[in-house]
Amino acid sequence: MQPSLLALFVIASLASLFMAWVIGAGSSGATPFAPAVGANAISTMRAAFIVGIFGFAGAVVQGANVSKAVGRGLIGGVSLPATGVITVLLIGAGLMAVGIKTGYPIATAFTVTGAVIGVGIALGGKPVWPKYLQIGSVWVLTPVVGGGLAYGIASVLPRDDAPERYSVAVLAGLVGAVLANVNFAYLGPGDSMDSLTGLARRTAGIDGFAVPVAVSLLVAASVAALVSWDIRRDMNAGLRRVLLALGSLVAFSAGGSQVGLAVGPLLPLLGDLEMIPVLAVLVGGGLGMLVGSWTGAPRMIKSLSQDYSSLGPRRSIAALVPSFLIAQLAVLLGVPVSFNEIVVSAIIGSGAAVGGGDAIDSTKILRTIGAWVGSLALSLGLGYGLTVLLSVF
């Protein structure tokens, strides 16, 4: 191994750690528990602590898919050199740091994706249009689907003919069934990923869908029965526990998705550094996000929980259920997705269902959308321009 290559990798790794810290302090650290904090179910500092733990776990056991997509799936024909990786990470982290400083939720997925594409094209790479179409579809549909689902759920929960011990229990059962089918590292043969239902099918030695369906129904029924009993016993405490459990699952999903934005650009360099496994890179990114959540997330949590909508426990649950579902779909597809976009859209939908236009700050929302679009365009332009400038010198 050339010493110069190792030195550049060390610099790129430090930039990746900084990016991971920024992500933990911003999108992945703030958004999962923002609805719970807004509903006064947990304090801001305790939320930052818990989200760091679950985010680290998600990064280690679910981070591979998005990391590979960011590192190798956005540009064809070229592999980012160490200087390109450093450029991408510094652009993404710099724009995110601006968002944290100003209190606006800059979309990490937009900044990193734009920077990777800009740098790759400047190096002579070819656009991967099918992947861009997939990513763009998820980005565009997220506020529509997430906000719509949150609006629908928040519209049902307050109704007298849908008591919480049934309605919330059904939602919890749905989340349990989805969780049973989510892929985790080390559940498959060897070091491959698989789900709990897949593990049960291999253990039983029965092909087909009978075992996965049976396990999914069993998990859903068990979770629903437990939640129904807890809410019947003490409604306020039961709703609070459901809310905190959902926040933890969203934090876990955020770790599995967002770590790819920090460490994904490093993956092209690992081909020349075979002694460094992908798991070690994921652990490093997860630790960076954990520290970021503990040290920098409270500001963004406060911004999201108080500025966008006045949330109660029911509207918070309505916001977190679609957030979890969309996040896990993005992890499955290997699509870099913004948790700011996911959770903010769901908060808006759940707030509008009960409070209408008075429950949300339209000016703040418009500025946020402008920040999302602007960060994508700016990161792409900066990535292309800086790479061309560096090539000249």
Q: What share of the chain is helix, strand, coil (3-state, %, to 5)?
A: 80, 5, 20
The per-residue pLDDT for 122 is 94
C-alpha 270/C-alpha 274 separation (Å) is 6
> Is 326 within 8 Å of 342 (Cβ atoms)?
yes
C-alpha 146/C-alpha 52 separation (Å) is 24
Pseudo-torsion of CA 306, 308, 313, 317, nearest 10°? -140
Beta bridge partners of 184: 194
The helix or strand, by DSSP H or E, that contains position 85, with its residue range, turns out to be: helix 82-102
Average pLDDT, the chain: 85
C-alpha 183/C-alpha 329 separation (Å) is 11
Task: Show me where the domains of the chain are located.
Answer: 3-392
Summarize pLDDT for 124-177 with one digit per residue, the tens: 999 999 999 999 999 999 989 999 999 999 898 877 778 889 999 999 999 999
Summarize pLDDT for 206-263 with one digit per residue, the tens: 888 899 999 999 999 999 999 999 999 999 899 999 999 998 999 999 899 889 888 9
Q: Is the pLDDT of residue 303 over 80?
A: no
Record the tokens describing residue 375, joined without a space. 């960060």
Q: Is the pLDDT of residue 24 over 80?
A: yes
To which residue do tokens 């999914």 refer? 216
C-alpha 223/C-alpha 314 separation (Å) is 18
C-alpha 38/C-alpha 35 separation (Å) is 5
Residue 192, Cβ density class (10 Å: 0-12 exposed, 13-18 middle, ≥19 buried): exposed
Could you tell me which residue, 336 or 270, shows the higher pLDDT?
336
Record the tokens describing residue 39, joined without a space. 């509903």
To which residue do tokens 């409604």 refer? 235
Could you tell me which residue, 5 or 78, shows the higher pLDDT?
78
C-alpha 115/C-alpha 109 separation (Å) is 10
The per-residue pLDDT for 309 is 47
The total number of residues written for the chain in this structure: 393
The per-residue pLDDT for 5 is 65
- Distance from the Cα of residue 235 to its chain's centroid: 30
pLDDT-derived band at 307, boundaries 50, 70, 90: low
The per-residue pLDDT for 27 is 63
C-alpha 154/C-alpha 62 separation (Å) is 29
C-alpha 112/C-alpha 73 separation (Å) is 13
Say which amino acid occupies 140. Answer: V
Helix (H, G, I), strand (E, B) or coil at 193: strand
Beta bridge partners of 256: none
- Segment 267-296 mean pLDDT: 82
Structure letter (DSSP) for residue 265: G
**Count of C-beta atoms within a 10 Å radius of residue 329:** 16
Give every CB contact of residue 370 below 8 A, 6+ residues apart in sequence. Answer: none
Q: Is the pLDDT of residue 316 over 80?
A: yes
pTM for the model stands at 0.88
Instruction: Give the lowest-confidence range in 177-186, 216-225, 343-352.
Output: 343-352
Record the tokens describing residue 86, joined without a space. 């450093």
Pseudo-torsion of CA 239, 244, 249, 252, nearest 10°? 170
